[in-house]
């Protein structure tokens, strides 16, 4: 029933928030960096309280070193198994403050 529709609507909205943050990090929302950063911070906070500054830095590390072991923060560290990669990825991106805000 309606729970499936609510789930799909939330997934659509959460995807939009993440895409908005991603576009803000690339400076494509506005010609003004401050507006991009402000909208990016708002979007990623509404998404899951991620630290925009940390995401922004790691995102550009990823673009500058895509696919390079130990340089690309989103690439595996020599162990390409999905579960190992995912756990390491989440540990590197989650912060204690974010978990506190999500639990609150």
Task: Look up the pTM and report it.
Answer: 0.81
56 token code pair? 């922004």
pLDDT in tens, 64-80: 999 898 899 888 877 77
Residues 6+ apart with CB under 8 A from 11: none
Structure tokens at 1: 């029933």
Q: What is the pLDDT of residues 85-95, one digit of tens each?
A: 899 888 888 99
Question: Hey, what are 34's tokens?
Answer: 């401050």
Token duo for residue 86: 């995912």
Alpha carbon distance 104, 89 (integer Å):
23
């Amino acid at each position: 029933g309606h729970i499936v529709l609510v789930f799909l609507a939330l997934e659509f909205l959460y995807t939009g928030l993440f895409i908005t943050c991603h576009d803000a990090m690339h400076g494509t929302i506005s010609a003004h960096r401050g507006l991009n950063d402000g909208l990016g911070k708002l979007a990623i906070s509404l998404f899951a309280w991620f630290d925009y500054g940390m995401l922004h830095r790691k995102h550009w590390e990823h673009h500058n070193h895509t696919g390079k072991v130990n340089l690309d923060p989103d690439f595996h560290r020599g162990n390409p198994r999905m579960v190992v990669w995912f756990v390491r990825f989440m540990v590197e991106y989650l912060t204690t403050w974010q978990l506190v805000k999500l639990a609150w």
